[in-house]
Amino acid sequence: MFPGEFETLFREMANIFTLETIAKKMDLEGDYPKRNPHSPIWDTIDTLYDCEYVDVGNGKYVSCQLFFKKTVRILFYTLMIELEGRLFRIHEWNGKSLDELNEANLNVLIKELVDSELIDKQIEYDSRTEFKKDLKAVSSFRNVIMHVNKKLEQTVDVKTVVQRKKQMLKLLLALQQILDHMYSKRKIN
């Protein structure tokens, strides 16, 4: 995909998964945060750290635990595929053979990128250490997302999910900046 296409596709996907899609009619008492039922779940998780339910009106509520079932997992999965794709493309454009890339481990690709001068071609991160820290955190989180299990729902707290979301979005920007630099150099040559 060209720059911007993924972002448009992802936004369209995220907008499909609204609070309304997972809301249920419930008889609850209490003062729960109110949200528009058409709000995307992806946009809502950042603001609802310690809630039990979200009130979407008309007696319908969303259990905050439901955020971490399929909808958020699908969105993280999509981000992860794009992140890996950009990482793959960086190494491919940097001369690594497809045979090597097809056999490469994600952590090896991360280490090679972090150890290269390509890191200097992005402006999202001020330091190599910060870039590496986010890549390692996202790489570790990858297993929670890519493999069907209950870790995301039962053991990963909301603050971590929100942090990984921010890290992945920042990494995608940084990787795209590296690709843009590489692309402009390829066009010149």
Predicted pLDDT of residue 79: 94
pLDDT digits (tens, 9 = 90+) for 5-17: 899 999 999 999 9
| Nearest alpha carbon to residue 70 among 137, 11, 15, 152 | 152
Quick one: tokens of 139? 């790489």
β-partners of residue 35 are none
Instruction: Please check the confidence at residue 116 and state whether its pLDDT lies above 80.
Output: yes
Integer Cα distance of 7 and 83 in angstroms:
12
Cα(50)–Cα(159) distance, rounded to whole angstroms? 9
pLDDT at 158: 76
C-alpha span between 183 and 189 (Å, rounded): 10
- The percent of residues above 90 in pLDDT, for the chain, comes to 59
* 178 — pLDDT class (breaks 50, 70, 90): very high
Neighbours of 187 (CB within 10 A): 7
- How far is CA 41 from each of CA 4, 14, 23, 58, 118, rounded to the nearest angstrom? 22, 7, 11, 18, 35
Tell me the per-residue pLDDT of 54-103, one tens digit each, with 9 for 90 and over: 999 999 999 877 776 778 888 999 999 999 999 999 999 999 999 999 88
Interhelix angle 158-188/128-146, nearest 10 degrees? 120
Q: What is the mean pLDDT of the chain?
A: 87
